[in-house]
């Protein structure tokens, strides 16, 4: 499905409001939106942004900023995208990486100082315990 950046932002907003979050990659030669459907999503590749959940214009600005940051810092890397989630009435945006092994997701969380990763298939955040790193 070919999308403009505005359409991709609107799709991400809709999914975020309906399901509590989204993770997708927008880019490539055709400027397509590719939702991630399997794997484990780990953030921490760039600074997070956030906006009020009831402000679509600010959502659009933050989403597009993160897409441009992703394209600038991680051009051509297909498993890097923009993740969103709702927390305390705000929507957060992060540059995310999708990996296919749980142990890799846990290691990346520790390396990046992240407290959780998202299991796409289970549809839930998995919080890591930093004290179990040595195991």
Instruction: Based on DSSP, count helices (H) and strands (E) in the chain, helices before strands.
Output: 3, 8
Measure CA 98 to chain center: 9
Predicted confidence band at 131 (pLDDT cuts at 50, 70, 90)? very low
Name the residue with higher pLDDT: 65 or 77.
65
Q: Tell which residue, 77, 78, 111, 114, has the closest CA to residue 94.
A: 114
Q: How many domains does the chain have?
A: 1
Q: What is the mean pLDDT of the chain?
A: 87
Residue 116 confidence (pLDDT): 94
Higher-confidence residue: 27 or 116?
A: 116
Which pTM value belongs to this model?
Answer: 0.85
What does the DSSP 8-state code read for residue 100? S
Closest among 70, 68, 56, 64 to 17, alpha carbons compared: 56
CA–CA dist 79, 100 (Å, integer) = 10
3-state secondary structure of 32: strand
Split at pLDDT 50, 70, 90, the class of 130 is low
At 87 the three-state DSSP class reads: strand
pLDDT of residue 3: 64
> Residue 76 belongs to what domain range?
5-132
Look at residue 2 and tell me whether its pLDDT is greater than 70.
no
In this predicted structure, the answer to whether residue 51 has a pLDDT above a threshold of 90 is yes
Q: Which of residues 35 and 10 earns the better pLDDT score? A: 10
């Amino acid at each position: 499905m070919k999308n403009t950046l505005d359409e991709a932002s609107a799709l991400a907003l809709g999914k975020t409001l309906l399901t509590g979050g989204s993770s997708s990659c927008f880019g490539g030669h055709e400027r397509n939106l590719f939702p991630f459907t399997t794997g484990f999503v780990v953030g921490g590749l760039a600074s997070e942004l956030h906006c009020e959940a009831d402000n679509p214009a600010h959502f659009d600005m933050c989403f597009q900023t993160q897409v441009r940051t992703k394209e600038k810092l991680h051009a051509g890397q297909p498993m890097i995208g923009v993740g969103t989630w709702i927390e305390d009435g705000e929507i957060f945006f992060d540059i995310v990486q999708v990996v296919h092994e749980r142990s890799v997701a846990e290691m990346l969380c520790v390396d990046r100082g992240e407290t959780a990763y998202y299991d796409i298939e289970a549809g839930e955040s998995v919080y890591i315990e930093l004290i179990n790193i040595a195991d």
